[in-house]
Amino acid sequence: MTTDSTDTKRAQEIDLLKGKLIVAALISVPNIIVMNPTLVSGVAERLPAGSYAESLTWSIMALISVPVFLWAGSHLLLSLKSCTPNLESLVGLGLTGAFFYSIAIAVMPGFDTIAPYAVPLWDVIDVVVALALVVKIAQVSKASD
């Protein structure tokens, strides 16, 4: 049997994870639309490939995606510290690589000459963090049963 303090801690952890999930999900939606402009009619015309508007929009998406990756995905990043290969640490490692790749595209001048078809992965990062939070909430909830 678990004590009341353990149940309280788990309930607080689940509440924190749910808050992170809401933030990650809310930020994922505009990222998906901007990074895949053909999904919504009219967006592709406003953000033509290679334009200043597209580049500016990618930079804005980077600014709002950094908190999702660092705060909402913090459990994935903390799992890297343990140096124990598990699913969380592998997902965290993959997301870290995608994050730095996307940062390089956003801030490194001339990156488009190195990789002309490079596209930042902000939408993928945010969605994977949100899905990882769903899995983490399920694990914590199951552990409390």
Residue pLDDT, tens place only, 86-141: 888 888 899 999 999 888 887 776 776 787 778 888 889 999 999 999 999 998 88
| pLDDT attached to residue 133 | 93
Answer whether residue 50 shows pLDDT above 80: no
Q: Strand, helix or coil at 84? A: coil
| pLDDT attached to residue 112 | 67
Radius of gyration, CA atoms only, the chain: 18
Q: What is the mean pLDDT of residues 15-39?
A: 89
Mean pLDDT estimate for the chain: 85
Total tally of structural domains belonging to the chain? 1
Q: Strand, helix or coil at 85? A: coil
Distance of CA 7 to the CA centre of its chain: 29
What's the predicted TM-score (pTM) here? 0.83
Q: For residue 38, give both structure tokens.
A: 């053909």
Domain that holds residue 80: 4-144
Most confident of 15-19, 47-51, 76-80, 107-111: 15-19
